[in-house]
Structure formats: C-alpha cells, structure tokens
Amino acid sequence: MPVSERRLLVSIHDVAPCFESEVDRLADLIDARLGPARYAMLVVPDHWGRAPLAQAPAFQARLRGWAERGVEMFVHGWFHRDGSRHQGAAGFKARHMTAGEGEFLGLSHADALQRMADGKALIEDVIGRPAAGFIAPAWLYGPGAMQALAECGFPLAEDHFRVWRPGHEDKPLAKGPVVTWASRSTMRTASSLAFAALARPALQPLKTLRLAVHPGDVTKPSIVGSVDATLRAFSRRHVPGRYADLIE
C-alpha cells in the first residue's frame, strides 16, 4: 500500500480550561513531530462540573484559533464524569475500562441526546464552524447513547476499535485499536507503555492508525517519551491526516 494511502489520526482528549497548560504541552509535542495543527481536539464542555467552557472566554478564543488553523474539534461528552449506576457488562466496563469517567455508558436516550445536543451547540458557537464529530468519554457508549448519536447529526464517532458514521456503525470507516496511555497508576502506566512498544511495529500494516493522548500523560516522562517514539514510528509510513478525510 502506498504511503499516500496510509493515514495517521492523532487526538488530544479532555481539552478543557482546567487543562490548558497540559494541552499546550501535548500540542507542542505533536507539532514538533507532525507539523502544525495535524491533530484533533476532544473538547469537554464542563469537565467534572468544575471547568465550564461557557465561562472561559480566553480559552474559547484559543479553541477558535486552533480550529481556524485546522485542528478538528470533537464534542467529548459534557461532564466526562460517570454519574450512572451500572450492572452486568456495563458494570464491568465502568470498573475496569475507566476511572469513573464513562459518562455516556449508562445514560438514558433522553439524557444522552440532551447532552450531545447541548455540547454540539456550545462548541460550534465557540469555534464558529461545525464540530468534527462526537467521541464519548473513555470511548464508552451505552444503548441510549448509541441511539442518540444517530439522531444528533454528527459526521463521525469513534470507540476503541473503529471510526464510523453515526447510524452506520455496521460499516466502519477505520478499524484497529487506538494507541493510548494510562497515567493513573504505576501498573496501568507500565501496561500502556508495553502496548505502545508492541504497537509501533505490529500495527504498521493498518491503513489507518490512531493515537490518542490525555492531559495526565505529561505528568510522566516515561509516557512523554513513549508518545514521542510512537509518533515518530507511525509517521514514517503513515501521513498525518484528518478524521474528515475518512468521509471525503
């Protein structure tokens, strides 16, 4: 497969006023390897109910500036925090796949629809253009969220293993695991570093590679080094692109 047909999609998660300095560091790291604005930002309207974007005009201006330079802006939940009670498979995901941040895993259809619509309206007003799509916190979607997603008019959605057009999840636009890191415990950090090291050669045959970073990543030099190594490895054979390229 020619290099021109191979795509690298990079995203910064949890973009919110409370993480401005961390987002800056991540953006600088990505810019240094891929060139300016060759990534997406996942914006949280009110991170954990403590960082309302609507009340942060200076950060709003920065988001608009990034968007004008070509950074894709996704809606990333509303609070990011999971306030639902879970049972069965959802309970397992809530306990083991995130630390209380799978906001859309247990929401009803009505609640998911309201938060998606409100987030879309707010972020589009801030950046002055349509949102690139919706990505649930921790990449976790419950039945209510999946139903609402198909009704909200988002061009794209993503989970751990695929990217799809809402309403057409049976026809993924890209498949394969997203490479990400965990900073909240020594054990999780070690396992994420090991997975990234394996992924750098093992995932090269995929047409589309995805890499996601979080504000907490910059707190550990080992993760910063791994992110940089993975960006270098992936960009050798894959061209940094945009999520929108998948549907254009």
What domains appear along the chain, each with residue ranges and CATH number?
A: 3-176+240-246 (3.20.20)
What pLDDT band is residue 93 in, cutting at 50, 70 and 90? Answer: very low
Percent of the chain whose pLDDT exceeds 90? 87
Task: Report d(CA 126, CA 103) in Å as an integer.
Answer: 22
Residues 235-244 pLDDT 10s: 999 999 999 9
User: Would you call 80 helix, strand, or coil by DSSP?
Assistant: coil
Q: What is the pLDDT of residue 84?
A: 43
Evaluate the CA torsion angle 30, 36, 40, 42 in order and state its sign.
positive
State the residue for tokens 């751990």. Answer: 160
DSSP-assigned letter for residue 103 = T
One DSSP character per residue, 113-156 reads: HHHHHHHHHHHHHHHTS---EE--GGG---HHHHHHHTTTT-S-
- Nearest one of 116, 119, 178 to 141, comparing CA atoms: 116
